[in-house]
Structure 1
Amino acid sequence: MGRKVTVYKPTSVLYTKDQLMTIFKSHDADGDGKLSREELKKAFKYLGSRWCSYRAEQALRCTDANDDGYIDEKELEKLVDYTLERRYTIV
């Protein structure tokens, strides 16, 4: 008799709101409390985005309420919600 082999398929788990908040805050390289386009680009690259420049631009367009070119503390939750809608996963 042959041995039974169990095959496990890799699964993906969605990031939580808290995890995304931590990731974005950790990409504030200069510590000014705001995320620049370049910092957003690096954050989306970290999250596995194939088009991190495009995603950073779209995120700014959708979440930068005061149109200053940065995501500040007030806008961060909206950025996290935007990212959750795109269903980024932990691989």
Structure 2
Amino acid sequence: MRKNVTMFKPVSVSFTRDQLMNIFRSHDLDGDGKLSRKEVKAAFGYLGSRWDSYRAVLALLHADSDHDGYVGEEELKKLVDYALKCGYTIA
């Protein structure tokens, strides 16, 4: 006798722009209104990146317009755009 087995395929949903904004803002651990490389790295780790250090360096190159080594509030949109292009999803 054969049993019916229902299999569910896991579904991944992409993060929204607002979700990523909130995730990055929540990683501003010292509350100075800007994200350091260490804070960006922690955020990418939270997102599940296997290469969080690599992602943080590339993100800073992409988003840090004034080259001060931080992602300020005005640069956050560029950081989120970069993260969206990377395709992070909610599993």
TM-score range, shorter chain: over 0.9
Q: Percent identical across equivalent pairs?
A: 63
**Structure 2, gaps ≥5 residues long:** none
**Aligned alpha-carbon RMSD (Å):** 0.9
- Structure 2 counterpart of 1:25: 25
Structure 1 runs of 4+ aligned residues shifted over 6 Å read none
TM, length-normalised to structure 1: 0.95
Provide the rounded CA distance (Å) in 1 between the counterparts of 2:62 and 2:81.
Answer: 11
Q: Does structure 1 residue 7 correspond to structure 2 residue 7?
A: yes
Q: Which residue in the other structure is 1:76 paired with? A: 76
Of Structure 1 and Structure 2, the greater strand share is in: 2
In structure 1, distance between residues paired with 2:76 and 2:62: 11
Instruction: Return 5+ residue gaps in structure 1 as ranges.
Output: none
User: What displacement does 1:4 show?
Assistant: 2.5
Aligned residues: 91
1:67 maps to 2:31: no
Q: Secondary structure at the match of 1:69?
A: coil
TM-score by length of 2: 0.95
